[in-house]
Structure 1
Amino acid sequence: MQRILLFVFLTLGISSGIIAQESPKRGSNLLSDTISRYLDDVVITGNRIQIPFSEYSRNITIVTKEDIDNLPVQSLAQILNYVPSVDVRQRGAMGIQGDLSIRGSTFDETLVLINGIKMSDPQTGHHLLNFPLNINNVHKVEVLKGPGARIFGQNAYAGAVNVITKVPEKRYVEINGFGGIGQSDSQDSDTTFYDYGVNIGFSMPGNTYGQYLSLSHTASNGYRYNTDYEMNNLFYQSELKGMGGKFNFQFGYTDRKFGANGFYSGNNEYEEVKTSLVSMDYEKVAGDLFIKPRIYWRGNKDNYLFHRENPQWFNNVHLTNVYGGEVNLSYDSKLGVTGVGLESRYESLDGLENEQHPDAPNSLLNDDSRYNLGLFLEHRFTFKKFSITPGIYINQHSDFGFKAFPGIDMGYQLNNLLKVYGNVGKTYRVPTFFDLYYASTTTKTFGDPNLKPSEAWMYEVGLKAFDKGILGEVNYFIQNAENTIDWVNDPANPDVKWQAVNFSNVNKWGIETSFSIDFQQRIGKGAILKKISASYVYINSDLQDSQFKSRYALSHLKHQFIFGIHHKIAKNIYNSLKFRHLFRPLFDDDSILEGNTNLDNYEVLDMRIYWEKANKMVYLEATNLTGSKYVEVGQVLMPGRWFRVGVKFRFEY
């Protein structure tokens, strides 16, 4: 409470000298009249206050549609691999299942959104990357690093990823397909491992009513024993102009079936996951007022088999439902821009009986439900080269009571090219139902129904540089956490392998540097070297309760270096190359390290060579050209070298 009062006092003191100044109206350039000459400013898609990228006093990475089209990727998880401070820990290929970490967080401490709709699952963060769409549907990806509770609310603990789609402006039919073969790390020398995928998209824009529909299918026989998968996605989006505003509707569905060798506790595991998303909102601008109410539902059905060939041994089937409603608005005045938001969210978990094997042991989780109410308040002041955005998220949770999470962003434009910024925020995440109720005497793994939410104060200072086609940034960040939720092993208790606990104190600090040059902006479309980028991240952590062996809190990204180059080879022929070096200590289970070295310290080189002309592309793609043997999480060795050929055609009409 003392910190919150201090925060309010500081905000009032700083803002008192600003509020007398007249602020520009919506759509005007608040700080960077000179910068706008150099940077085609992208507006960050916030729920309330919309801020141009160059004016944001936070560390944000934007991956554009053009970037995605050129990358050697086939999934959203692979796209995020190239974002500084983001750690995608995949179990298997093509993002079929994986965890997401930002700045050393655990997989339950990040938030993923699709067009502002929260995709978090109350059962477990392992379902966070179950995207019901294909990369060809994505317009851009915004990655916010650092505390996100003030902006997004619950579970945006260490950051948030917002995937933005939209109804295209042109009418077309798009067909994309690929096929590939790969290298196995197993002894199955007589087996040819392959994957393939196809996506069909229909764009139907209109003056008052526009639609977009996408269907995709991806499959593989794996790259080692029991790593095969099949994934089907359907995504539909529409917009209707009327009643002085615009209605937006989206529906997404993904059906995933995959062998789960080493995913959790054995080599014969199998899982089927079906995730659905439905949302509708209405947005309207009335003078200086912008309002956007929305409703949504997210459902997830998870069917887990401990032994694929003997499903009667053990079978978990869980169904989660999330219902939510929000009203967000912003108002421009002489005092600045004010943002207000209200949210209500209901979550439930039900253990289901498998109709095919009703006698099999099933759910280890208790059926449960909970609700969350939240109020967002924020205001953006600007005065010449200085900006300040204080805000607070006030939360009432059915299980954890009342809490408040303040934050403040500040920025100062030093000159035409440089901006210095800083921010402070309190953030949190609530325990999942898995954290609370999981109990298995077989694996000696137990949750704790008395867990408290994880909370942290986070601090950041940074410097940004903008010029024509040039972006550079360096920042330093600190996290002071309490009640951090983790799974630990106590050597003094041999009857329990992993126990969910609240750590009293976990501290992290780190630095991030990034730099990119877009030569097409600086020189022109004829530039042979199109783009070059590089980034380095270092994260250090300190766990006070050192007598326990941590499963997740310390097993995070420690060093990350990413380098990319995109250049022209000949007329209409280009090459996009990405190199990554990562060091991530493995603490989950060291048995996989026997006979192997450097599985947690490795380099990966990916490349795409393509021919492109007039809505047509043919490409050759290679991933893990270095042939590195590495693990991202658990007991899952990742694929070796993989080669794909693909085509993209767009027929406009």
Structure 2
Amino acid sequence: MKKILLAILLGGCWNELIAQTESDSLDLQEIVIQENRIQIPFSKQSRNISVITKPQLETTPARSLQEVLAFVPGVDVRQRGVTGVQADIGIRGGSFNQTLMLLNGIKLTDPQTGHHMMNIPVPMVNIDRVEVLKGPGSRIFGQNAYAGAVNIITELSNTRNLRLQGYGGDFAMRGLAFAGSLPTGNYRQNLSISYDESAGHWYNSDYQVSNFFYEGGLALNESHELRGMIAYTDRSFGANGFYTSAFPDQWESLQTSLGALSHTYSNSKWRINTRAYWRKNADEYRLRRNEPEFYQNFHTSNTYALEANGSFESNLGTTGFGLEYRKEEIQSNNLGNHDRTLAGIFLEQLINLGEKTDLRAGVYSNYFNEFGWKHFPGAELGYQATEALRFYSGYGKSFRIPTYTDLFYVGPTNIGNAELRPEQAQNFEIGAKWVKNRFFAELVYFHRDTDDLIEWTRPNENTPWQPQNFNEVKFNGIEAALTYRMASGSTSFRLKELMISYNYIDANLVERPGIETRYALAALRHQLIGGFLVGIGQKLEWNTKMRYVERFSLDPYFLLDSRVDYNRSGKLGIFAEASNISNTDYIESGTVQMPGRWFRMGFMLNLE
């Protein structure tokens, strides 16, 4: 019934608004995907990539990037509470440990656990766009891009502007964000600060989140540019049901710091970027919030990295190359004190085979001091059948080493396994994309054959979870999406965007008799997403999003969210949002009961 309702709503909007027109949307063909080496326009990519533009970020009924990603086809967001205070991101059936988060190409990998991957020290107001790569990304980004990667892009502006946002809502929720762009001569800079808090939607689910982000860039001349970044986030939250239902008074506090400095040289043939960055994450965890002496963990991890990436244009096409060195350290009263180093070499080539066919192939060779050398080859073949229609196929090998939690954790409900081996996968996909005028459509089939999958298991509910290597797991999936974005127009009631997508995954996990698995079959089986953005007059916008989600091991659910903006791009705008309008009873992760219908509203002040 809910699927039928979704189809009726979308169909009705299409029939009523198909003749209308729109402004304020970005042509996808103009977007250059920001990989660290070879950079290709979206329409010429032979991969399944979703791009979330700034207007979409601003009009989606969401208070966090985690919530926005929940509307991206093929992305599985498993929240433990509202506004993504703690959320795991999976792509194509992969776990939270198998997705790589990046900020302007900088890897946010945490050696302690993938649960910290979304500790992103950038307020939403500062994000220009988000690029989601689905499928193996090891050849492009390295070992943690096992099932996909999410790259958050910020931009330095040449114009002065200030933005102040504030909101409040149910569960004593409130937040304030400030962002400013203050260029001076050849120096451009962004500064943003935000704070969010809530009393929580159920017992022991309150949170407080603070973010600080500063970015600067200096153009030395036409060929040389320096860029620096400092970011910090502090988040504390009640963790009822986050990791176990046996202790409802769990509590956690996290502080993540990030610093980076880069230099870019470019001319008509060469582009070389060198950078150094450091990431620190401090994690305090209590099993009983007000009794730290009962059970308490302190983990502090540091990552230091050097990278050099570049590309070169020649008669053979475009050559991409890169080097990286990383050192990861952790000091923990539970996991112990450890460190490991890795080095990587990237090499790839993009060549044209005639006027319509192109081939991109390469390899990433990685050295870990604990596991030696591993090599990740990959290739994509594209055929431009017409100006609008592109067929493509690709192969890639992916790899992930165990986290320190996988290896060494000791707790009442979870125990690590120091004998774990890295997990590997062979990936294949074939698809077609159509980009013409206001339409974008894509259809993809993918297959992932996993060796030595790292999965948490237990023989019964009285035994702690412990990770093991499964011999083989196969994933097969289909992804289909259609988006319609209008061109500019002057009608009083116009459709600005309409989208619908469907994703299906079949996971062939041969479970061992008497063994219960924790994450492998928590992935998406069916995902149906729909939405439309309507403009009413010159200042009013109404965005509605719908999701039907069915996972392998959880009950399916349908969610309906909506947002109304007035004068969003003007000097003073206001908005109102409603989540779970359908008042659905559902769980996304762990044993956290997500809230029913809830509301918030706020303002945006824009000054130039």
TM-score (norm 1): 0.86
Query: Matched residue of 1:337: which SS?
Result: strand
Find out whether 1:347 has 2:328 as its counterpart. yes
Equivalent residues of 2:162, 2:178 under 8 A apart: yes
Equivalent residues of 1:280, 1:296 under 8 A apart: yes
Deviations 1:220-253 (A, max 9, x none): 0111110000010000000011164111111110
Change in Cα spacing, 1:448 to 1:289, as seen in structure 2 (3 Å) is: same
Q: CA deviation at 1:639?
A: 1.8
Question: How many Å separate the matches in 1 of 2:464 and 2:410?
Answer: 12
> Segments of 4+ in structure 1 off by > 6 A?
524-527
Query: Matched residue of 1:552: which SS?
Result: coil
Query: Matched residue of 1:604: which SS?
Result: strand
- Structure 2 unaligned blocks of 5 or more: 1-25
Equivalent residues of 1:48, 1:340 under 8 A apart: yes
Question: How many Å separate the matches in 2 of 1:458 and 1:554?
Answer: 19
The aligned counterpart of 2:578 is 622
What root-mean-square deviation, in Å, do the aligned CA atoms of Structure 1 and Structure 2 show?
1.5
Aligned counterparts, 1:459-538, within 5 A:
459-491=428-460, 496-520=463-487, 528-538=494-504
Find out whether 1:230 has 2:196 as its counterpart. no
Aligned counterparts, 1:266-345, within 5 A:
266-345=247-326
Equivalent residues of 2:139, 2:378 under 8 A apart: yes
Deviations 1:361-390 (A, max 9, x none): xx3212111011000000000131111100
The aligned counterpart of 1:30 is none
Equivalent residues of 1:600, 1:632 under 8 A apart: no
Question: How many Å separate the matches in 2 of 1:38 and 1:259?
Answer: 42
Percent sequence identity is: 41
The aligned counterpart of 1:64 is 53
Q: CA deviation at 1:88?
A: 0.9
Question: How many Å separate the matches in 1 of 2:330 and 2:149?
Answer: 24
Pairing partner for 2:590 from 634, 641, 646:
634
The aligned counterpart of 1:407 is 378
Query: Matched residue of 2:96: which SS?
Result: coil
Query: Matched residue of 1:68: which SS?
Result: helix
Equivalent residues of 2:159, 2:183 under 8 A apart: yes
Pairing partner for 2:506 from 518, 540, 564:
540
Amino acid at match of 2:196: T
The aligned counterpart of 1:127 is 116
Deviations 1:555-613 (A, max 9, x none): 10111000010012344212000000101133xxxxxxxxxxxx631011110011115
The aligned counterpart of 2:342 is 372
Question: How many Å separate the matches in 2 of 1:389 and 1:93?
Answer: 41
> What is the aligned length?
577
Equivalent residues of 1:506, 1:543 under 8 A apart: yes
Deviations 1:481-527 (A, max 9, x none): 10000111225xx8733121000001000000000100226x67876
Deviations 1:421-443 (A, max 9, x none): 00000001110000001123x32
Deviations 1:275-330 (A, max 9, x none): 01111111111331111000000000000011012111111010000000100011
The aligned counterpart of 1:202 is 180
Q: CA deviation at 1:93?
A: 1.2
The aligned counterpart of 2:606 is 650
Question: How many Å separate the matches in 1 of 2:269 and 2:279?
Answer: 33
Equivalent residues of 2:349, 2:360 under 8 A apart: yes
Query: Matched residue of 2:396: which SS?
Result: strand
Find out whether 1:553 has 2:523 as its counterpart. no
The aligned counterpart of 1:142 is 131
Find out whether 1:452 has 2:432 as its counterpart. no
Question: How many Å separate the matches in 1 of 2:408 and 2:558?
Answer: 38
Question: How many Å separate the matches in 1 of 2:248 and 2:511?
Answer: 32
TM-score (norm 2): 0.93
Query: Matched residue of 2:90: which SS?
Result: strand
- Structure 1 unaligned blocks of 5 or more: 1-36, 182-192, 352-362, 587-598
Query: Matched residue of 1:439: which SS?
Result: coil
Equivalent residues of 1:229, 1:259 under 8 A apart: yes
Q: Which moved more, 1:543-552 or 1:637-646?
A: 543-552
The aligned counterpart of 1:567 is 534
Question: How many Å separate the matches in 2 of 1:222 and 1:496?
Answer: 31
Amino acid at match of 1:623: S
Amino acid at match of 2:561: D
Amino acid at match of 2:290: E
Question: How many Å separate the matches in 2 of 1:311 and 1:495?
Answer: 24
Q: CA deviation at 1:615?
A: 3.4
Equivalent residues of 2:78, 2:589 under 8 A apart: yes
Query: Matched residue of 1:43: which SS?
Result: coil
Equivalent residues of 1:519, 1:527 under 8 A apart: no
The aligned counterpart of 1:91 is 80
Change in Cα spacing, 1:41 to 1:196, as seen in structure 2 (3 Å) is: same
Change in Cα spacing, 1:169 to 1:408, as seen in structure 2 (3 Å) is: same
Deviations 1:191-239 (A, max 9, x none): xx22000001121123310111001010001111100000100000000
Change in Cα spacing, 1:556 to 1:38, as seen in structure 2 (3 Å) is: closer
Aligned counterparts, 1:386-465, within 5 A:
386-440=357-411, 442-443=412-413, 445-465=414-434
Aligned counterparts, 1:580-599, within 5 A:
580-586=547-553
Amino acid at match of 1:261: N
Amino acid at match of 1:529: L
The aligned counterpart of 2:564 is 609
Query: Matched residue of 1:483: which SS?
Result: strand
Equivalent residues of 1:563, 1:579 under 8 A apart: yes
Q: CA deviation at 1:38?
A: 7.8
Amino acid at match of 1:647: F
Change in Cα spacing, 1:527 to 1:389, as seen in structure 2 (3 Å) is: farther
Question: How many Å separate the matches in 2 of 1:579 and 1:236?
Answer: 35
Equivalent residues of 1:458, 1:478 under 8 A apart: yes
Question: How many Å separate the matches in 2 of 1:308 and 1:497?
Answer: 21
